[in-house]
Amino acid sequence: MLVQPNAPQFTSRPIPPTSGGTAPGTAPDRTSEHRTPGGLVVETRSEGPFTVLEMTGRLEADTVPTAEARVLTTVVLASGPLHLALDLTGIEAVDTAGANLLTKAGFAVRAARGTFHLIVPDFAPARAAVARHLLGNVVRHRRELTLPATDTHRAYSAAL
């Protein structure tokens, strides 16, 4: 027999804490931080109307599936209009799988009628991975995040 009927089929490894903020033997708060086995850390923050996913580590083929799940879960579970910003300041390396994830995230957020921003300073290694069609979504710092003007606001501004 290849499989024992009562044996567990899958095992999971605990995600190690990244800082001294949790007590020994307890798991970190996974709603705000998640570390993939490949070394990518994804933290979720709310900054005004924006949901910011701050990523540090490497955005490569072995870490992309977990990062993609985190991004798409954020898009699907948004209760209202989603204003998503991916902060790539702490990303050390991005391969083609990571670059494809950035493109897919942009499409998913726009399909949900949300706004999408990439926070990528000029000096960040992730800057080279940002595809040409995503450059319009890039800001250099969080303080540059802005919401698009509504049609009513545009019409009012044009009348002045």
Task: Encode pLDDT of 124-141 as tens digits.
Answer: 888 888 866 678 888 888
- The answer to whether the beta carbons of residues 117 and 129 sit under 8 Å apart is no
Name the 3-class secondary structure at 135: helix
Give residues with Cβ within 8 angstroms of 134, minimum separation 6.
102, 103, 106, 118
- Domains of the chain: residue spans and CATH: 33-143 (3.30.750.24)
Handedness of CA 53, 59, 63, 65 (dihedral sign): positive
Mean confidence (pLDDT) of the chain:
75
Higher pLDDT, 6 or 18: 6
pLDDT tens digits along 11-55: 333 334 334 343 444 333 334 555 555 689 999 999 989 999 999
* Cα–Cα distance list, 159 to 15, 34, 152, 153, 156 (Å): 55, 48, 11, 10, 5
pLDDT at 36: 55
Mean pLDDT of 93-105: 92
Mean pLDDT of 148-157: 49
DSSP 8-state code for residue 153 = H
Mean pLDDT of 79-103: 92
The model's confidence at residue 142, banded by pLDDT at 50, 70 and 90, is confident
CA separation for the pair 62, 101 (Å, rounded): 12
The verdict on pTM exceeding 0.85 is no
